[in-house]
């Protein structure tokens, strides 16, 4: 049984590929659900759906550990830590009355997007040569939503301008892009330091990630002589062996 399930996770059969596509769809669905309900009031319906989703995540988590060949290493990975935090947020209603912070922490599952990218590389040959774009877009999305969750957790009850997750997302985007319309501002000392941090990271990281998506610094073109995979977009020769490269380019606009 264990070998058959491990084959579904790691094998190349049609059944294994279909199973991994299902896991990708499940991860995307749970991430979307967490983002949609992170700040919603806990109604009986939401609680019931939470319990179902939590049980499914716990079951998949336990099965993944059971079939993993390097179990100890897997248990110590950051993917496992994220799953444990998310699972804890589902158990919180059984022990705590106020667990809004833990519910927002469920958005940490967005970090599992990196695992999704890895799985997609194996299942979708069309991504060949475009991994850097997908990875950069994933990094950008993860960064935005983690910062948004941080803004919500720290400022929702302090700032009347942030009444829902969309307000926190709006503030995050305008601050990261240094647009700063000024209709939502963080007035307290903690909020000002948070704003400074977001703007600094916006200049240092946000713009770099956007550039990697729309104008990447490197393109994937494997040299037929030495095997170097990544080159400058306008390279005419391989920087490793010096042989001529034939990289399709539109040139500078």
Span between the terminal Cα atoms of the chain, in Å: 58
| Longest distance between any two alpha carbons in the chain, whole Å | 66
pLDDT-derived band at 113 (thresholds 50, 70, 90) equals low
Mean pLDDT of the 69-83 span: 76
Q: Strand pairing partners for 220?
A: 230
Most confident segment among 8-12, 34-38, 140-144, 195-199 = 195-199
Interhelix angle 78-95/44-67, nearest 10 degrees = 140
CB 51 within 8 A of CB 33: no
Cβ contacts of residue 157 below 8 Å, gap of 6+? none
pTM check: above 0.75: no
Spell out the CATH class of 129-217: mainly alpha
How far is residue 66's CA from residue 54's CA, in Å, rounded to a whole number?
A: 18
Nearest-angstrom CA–CA distance, 117 and 28? 11
CATH class of the 1-126 domain in this structure: mainly alpha
Two structure tokens written together for 228: 């170097």
Residue 58 burial (CB count, 10 A): 16
pLDDT in tens, 138-164: 777 777 877 887 888 788 778 888 888
Closest by CA position to 6, among listed 81, 55, 70: 70
Q: What is the mean pLDDT of the chain?
A: 75
Pick 108 or 38 by higher pLDDT.
Answer: 38
Those residues with Cβ within 8 angstroms of residue 250's Cβ, 6 or more apart along the chain or in another chain: none
In the chain, where the domains are located: 1-126, 129-217, 218-253
pLDDT for 68 equals 80
């Amino acid at each position: 049984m264990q070998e058959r399930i491990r084959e579904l996770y790691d094998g190349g059969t049609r059944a294994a590929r279909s199973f991994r596509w299902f896991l990708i769809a499940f991860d995307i669905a749970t991430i979307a659900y967490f983002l949609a309900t992170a700040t919603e009031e806990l109604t009986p319906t939401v609680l019931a759906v939470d319990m179902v989703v939590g049980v499914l995540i716990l079951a998949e988590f336990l099965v993944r550990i059971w079939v993993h060949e390097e179990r100890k290493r897997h248990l110590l990975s950051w993917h496992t830590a994220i799953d444990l935090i998310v699972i804890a947020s589902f158990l919180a209603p059984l022990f705590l009355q106020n667990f809004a912070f833990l519910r927002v922490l469920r958005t940490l599952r967005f970090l599992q997007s990196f695992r999704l990218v890895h799985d997609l590389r194996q299942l979708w040959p069309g991504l060949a040569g475009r991994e850097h774009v997908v990875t950069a877009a994933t990094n950008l999305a993860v960064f935005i939503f983690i910062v948004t969750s941080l803004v919500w957790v720290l400022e929702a009850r302090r700032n009347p301008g942030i009444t829902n997750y969309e307000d926190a997302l709006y503030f995050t985007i305008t601050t990261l892009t240094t647009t700063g319309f000024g209709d939502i501002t963080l007035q307290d000392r903690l909020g000002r330091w948070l704003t400074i941090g977001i703007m600094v990271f916006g200049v240092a990281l946000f713009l770099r990630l956007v550039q990697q998506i729309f104008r990447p610094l490197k393109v994937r073109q494997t040299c037929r002589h030495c095997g170097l995979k990544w080159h400058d977009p306008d390279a005419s020769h391989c920087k490793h062996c010096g042989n001529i490269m034939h990289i399709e380019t539109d040139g500078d606009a």
